[in-house]
Amino acid sequence: MRKNYFLGLAANQKNVWRHLFTKATEEDAVELSKYLSRRYDGETILCKNGRSALALALKAYFNKGDKIIVNGFTCCAVYEAVKAAGLTPVFADINKKDLNFSINTLEQLWANPATHDGSPICGIIIQNTLGNPVDIKAIERFAGKHGLIIIEDLAHCAGLEYADGREAGTVGAAAVLSFGKDKSIDTTSGGAVVLRHHYMREIKTPDEPAHKSDCLRERFYPLFGSWCRRLTRIHLGGILMKFLLKVHFVERSADNKLDLSRKPANFEAKLALEQLKNLKPTEDKHLREFCLVKNRQAVLDELKEAGYYFDGFWYEKPVSPLRYYKKVHFDEESCPVATEVAEKIINLPIYYSKNDLKGAQEIIKKYTEDENE
């Protein structure tokens, strides 16, 4: 029998039962806050999700109308947070090697007169895409030279160690964490911000509990994902997932709305703390392995024929997902590399073994783009 994998929905049985039956209280949330404050040396605020945490960080350090530099290859959650804080994103193009902006790109962006029209550029968000580290020393020098505030988004890179030995999240004015699906810390939802420097604007701390419907959906998500993965063997996994989405038993990650008033569920705080305590800083902290391919649709079709189902690779547009792309008004001409990468990228979660993905890797290899192209 062929092996089938519904990538992006996998959850081992231990995680399934942990999500379903973990008991927690408000004290668990307090313990998570204390741990994050110690680890990242700042004031911690727990949030409904990562984009809410990022919005709070931006509100704390910037004034409405300010511009902030954002990676040109990212998720709509980042864009949503920037807009919720009343700021204007300035997208910086990336390089193909690590999917991050380089210091040369930033200098070119800064030298462009159009970048400085209207409101000033006041900050920069570092996301260390897919767990690939930026040149943090060079970016620090750039930020210091131009008076920019650095915000570190750890959704892809919690536990990453920069080349100079510092842990991601200990460099900028704030560290933002997401506990969403397939993130470095994965409890299905939830997030936090650690404010490390004195901030200019007072912000309201979320004080409403998580919606009961959200808690129920997040409790069961790993179980539903496990079912879908198994049912792909008889070609029913996709059908079940579409039904679960339609009746709102499952929510797409990109649809987890920003809400500055609500906290994460206590059980999510407890699970996040357990994962964080096991998170050891390391330079090799990839969230996903990626490559660029020719004719991506042909690759996906051949993979599907072989029994491999890739659901929701990151990202099919420079600012994903596709269904929200038009709202971003992304200038593809200003970020040509990000636009090209979004058309060619294939990426795999690292929690699958090499043996599991051996067949898939052989198929992908046939289409892989030469690094010199």
Sequential DSSP letters for 59-84: HHH--TT-EEEEESSEEHHHHHHHHH
β-pairing verdict for 345-349 and 288-292: antiparallel
How many CB atoms are closer than 10 A to CB 202?
Answer: 8
The verdict on residue 43 lying in a domain is yes
pLDDT 10s digit of each residue in the chain, 373 long? 234 334 433 446 777 888 889 999 999 999 999 999 999 999 999 999 999 999 999 999 999 999 999 999 999 999 999 999 999 999 999 999 999 999 999 999 999 988 888 888 999 999 999 999 999 999 999 999 999 999 999 999 999 999 999 999 999 999 999 999 889 999 999 999 999 988 777 888 999 999 888 888 888 888 887 777 677 666 677 788 788 888 887 788 778 899 999 999 999 999 999 999 999 888 778 888 899 999 999 998 888 777 776 656 788 999 999 999 999 999 999 999 999 999 999 987 776 666 767 888 889 889 997 665 5
pLDDT tens readout for residues 147-162: 999 999 999 999 999 9
The verdict on residue 299 lying in a domain is no
β-pairing verdict for 191-195 and 43-47: antiparallel
The verdict on residue 370 lying in a domain is no
pLDDT tens readout for residues 275-328: 999 998 887 788 888 999 999 999 988 887 777 766 567 889 999 999 999 999
Q: Rounded to an integer, what distance in angstroms lies between the CA atom of residue 237 and that of residue 219? A: 19
DSSP state of 221: H
The verdict on residue 10 lying in a domain is no
CA nearest 366: which of 268, 294, 262?
294
CATH number at residue 58: 3.40.640.10
| pLDDT at site 233 | 62
How far from each other are the two terminal CA atoms of the chain, in whole angstroms?
Answer: 38
Cβ-contact 87, 249 below 8 angstroms: no
- Two tokens, residue 195: 């404010």
The verdict on residue 265 lying in a domain is no
For residue 315, the one-letter residue type is Y
The verdict on residue 55 lying in a domain is yes
SS3 at position 296: helix
Q: Rounded to an integer, what distance in angstroms lies between the CA atom of residue 241 and that of residue 42? A: 40
Strand partners, 125: 151
Structural domain of 60: 23-195
| pLDDT at site 159 | 95
Q: How far is CA 282 from CA 15, 134, 278, 279, in A?
A: 24, 14, 12, 9
**In this structure, what are the phi and psi dihedrals at residue 289, rounded to the nearest 5 degrees?**
-95, 135
Q: Per the structure, how many domains does the chain have? A: 1
The verdict on residue 12 lying in a domain is no
* CA torsion through residues 370, 103, 169, 217, sign: negative
| pLDDT at site 327 | 93
The verdict on residue 71 lying in a domain is yes
Cis before 113 (ω within 30): no
